Structure 1
Amino acid sequence: MAVRLNNIGIVVEDLDRAIDFFTAIGLELEGRTAVEGKWSGRVTGLADQQVEIAMLRTPDGHGRVELSRFLAPDVIEDHRTAPVNALGYLRAMFEVDDLDAVLDGIEQHGAELVSTEVVNYENVYRLCYVRGPEGILIGLAQALASGSRADA
């Protein structure tokens, strides 16, 4: 049986700002559209939904982030500032080639380190968690030359 992750969905208030944040990380905007109608409500369980979505993909084409802005029905809960030990969806982790450059690029989009530092994980990765616009939590990892994923 073949299984492939298609996308991770994140609900946002400001779709343009979220798109800017993820493109600053290095994702590419694949498309943007509105989704509504009975068929979509049957999938999600939200009758009469109206959603504006944007699909972004990683440069290698193997991962996607789907950003959704609900026009109807109203958003009913807000987990954006939940701590990293909260139950449910936590974060998506992105591997980048130059962590410092990515951090510099996303800072202008309101991103802040969750901790005060980038850490070295067993000389294999430099890692950090970042909160972006609307409190979106992501992880960033850069493989170190002294280690590799194959060695981990």
Structure 2
Amino acid sequence: MTVRMDNVGIVVEDLAAAVEFFRELGLELEGQTVVEGEWAGRVTGLGYQRVEIAMMRTPDGHGRLELSRFLEPSVIADHRNAPVNALGYLRVMFAVDDIDETLGRLRKHGSELVSNEVVRYEDVYRLCYVRGPEGILIGLAQELS
């Protein structure tokens, strides 16, 4: 049996800001479209829906991130300010070459460290969580080798 992760999805309010944030991180915009209709709602269980989607791809081509802005139906819950230990909370981890340089670029987009520091895990990684636009939580990991 073969299983391959296709993408991780994040619902956002400001699609353009989210796209720019992830571009700054190093992802590439693969495509952008509007998905709508009753057929799409059968997949999600929402009925008729209209969603603007931007598909982002990691430079190595192995990972994708789907950013979605719901036009119909309206968003009904907001988890952006939930603590990182909230049930069902989403965090995506990205491996980067230089965590300090990456943080400098992301700060231009309003990102902030969750714990105000980059933590060293033994002699293996430097790690941190960052909140980006709309409180999106991502992790950054720099391998130390």
Give 1:53's aligned amino acid: I
1:89 Cα deviation (Å)? 2.9
Count, aligned residues: 145
1:38 Cα deviation (Å)? 1.5
Q: Which runs of 5+ in 1 are unaligned?
A: 146-152
Counterpart position of 1:150 = none
- Scaled by the length of structure 1, what TM-score is found? 0.94
1:122 Cα deviation (Å)? 1.3
Give 1:14's aligned amino acid: D
Query: CA separation in 2, counterparts of 1:67 and 1:37?
Result: 18
- SS of corresponding position for 2:13: coil
Q: Residues 39 and 48 of structure 2 are in contact (CA less than 8 Å); yes or no, is this contact kept in structure 1? A: no
Query: CA separation in 1, counterparts of 2:29 and 2:134?
Result: 19
**Residue 16 (1) aligns with residue 16 (2):** yes
1:112 Cα deviation (Å)? 0.2
**Residue 91 (1) aligns with residue 91 (2):** yes
Counterpart position of 1:51 = 51
> Mapping of 1:99-110 within 5 angstroms?
99-110=99-110
1:39 Cα deviation (Å)? 1.2
Percent identity reads 72
Query: CA separation in 2, counterparts of 1:127 and 1:113?
Result: 11
Give deviations 1:92-136, integer Å, cap 9, x for gaps.
Answer: 000011111110111010100001110111110100000000000
Query: CA separation in 1, counterparts of 2:48 and 2:2?
Result: 33
> Mapping of 1:63-142 within 5 angstroms?
63-142=63-142
Query: CA separation in 2, counterparts of 1:9 and 1:64?
Result: 9
Query: CA separation in 1, counterparts of 2:89 and 2:2?
Result: 24
